[in-house]
Structure 1
């Protein structure tokens, strides 16, 4: 594994607030959410932004909404391209960006106002070996209510082995990254979508960066990650196939990581089986188990005879409790 240092320019007298950050927003049929996302980007306390919205062949009014925002805010620019998937849209954005500091946010997610300011400060303080900064996230629903907070342990430094176990960054809207890291990783890989295995473009990119650079973390909740029934991550067989393709690529380059990759298969298998049961997608379970068995019969057996029954029992108790419980308090609104 080759370790690089970032080619961040030496900043002596320059005020961090004067540094340009390019924000790339891939958008496909995002008319319901794009205005909220743009408003959260516009509200950044680090105001020296270039905001590039890449319309990925939308068939709704996404582009028209972005044009309305751009007419009032010269920082916003709309880029149109034929539909090619989120990886190609992000690549179009960062390759046209003017800055060496690029942040990505999906067209239905939100940021806290201090997200880019605090991430840039940490990136500048951590140079040159650190090239990617991320923050914690909460999941939000269609009404911006918080439905889940990720409270896992912080991970920073050389995190490649940890990423093979699980995607602790959790989404594609969390990172501020240097152009040097994007170039070393060759951006985001459209091959996953081309092979009907979209969903893990984020973690593949993070792994490629982590092969060469250290990561930093702002230990605060700065991303509102929207979860909807029709999100890409709701297609569980596709997500599993995507993760397995990521690990296949890593295995080819790093055969010495066999143990970590096996752990990554086991942990992801547990997550996806439990998710299928939590969302009552029981018809997908046989397909998921079969896909896992092709990688590891032992892991598949654990999912079938341990994880699935235990999760079903947990959910049965929960559903019975919810059925007879008083109404839950209203969830906290995204700040």
Structure 2
């Protein structure tokens, strides 16, 4: 195996590597030293486990390693399934030096990471993302959590992994819709703070649509480097890190209202970024042409840019009021001054948001 591309999330004595490259699941020598105790629980789902679980378990030979396979889908990212992780850890007698390995997409990473944050007040966990979305976003930065009926990711913790192992070979088995949902998060990095990257993406649309391995690997590395730098500066989202939520307040509201799993997270984010751009134009912050350019790129990557028909704008606004970025009961949104220039805007008038949700903005 060629040496993986390696980045570091710099957090002092809690710093950790991000390994990106093909064949990493079978390269235990690259990541097993990050597991310090004798207990390891590999948490996966019913889609990923048949493909990759045994390969990971082979690399854990000599440890007291067990597996837990959960149902697949956003609708299962809840406290009931976190409890199943706790039960598995208890059954194996996991102590404070145990490690939870999250093998799957963002749902598994968020859920297993949250369980690790809670077990004995915090044990190690290692991220093994198998989706593009998880590789470029959710596996990096230590955000963990689960959904409630009231909203997405309302229960969670900041708990950094001990390593992120992104085996790009796993993307070959990723369904087309899941792959494209990941591309929305890739585009997000260009939209929020890297205009040159967005231009690069526009120039490589055909390669991205064709799943060109080299181009995908470059995109993953650039996104991870961008996020790692932001997390190192603002680990617990007191300021700059909130910019990574461009499109997410709108998108999370759509996911909640439509029912978890109806829209994939990346699809909802694609729509949400276009709504954030439309609101920015309505407020006079940005030229509408920038939003049109963003929407065009997303459409060429075969992503949705408008909400499903029949979605109630009043219900969406109610979900948005529960967003974690809000302060003092006032909406606080990530908007932009144009491509590559996102910013946090406080006290956004609900009438303006409502106009955009009603497609009048």
TM-score range, shorter chain: 0.3 to 0.5
For normalisation by structure 1, the TM-score amounts to 0.36
Higher relative contact order (CA 8 A, sep 6+): 1
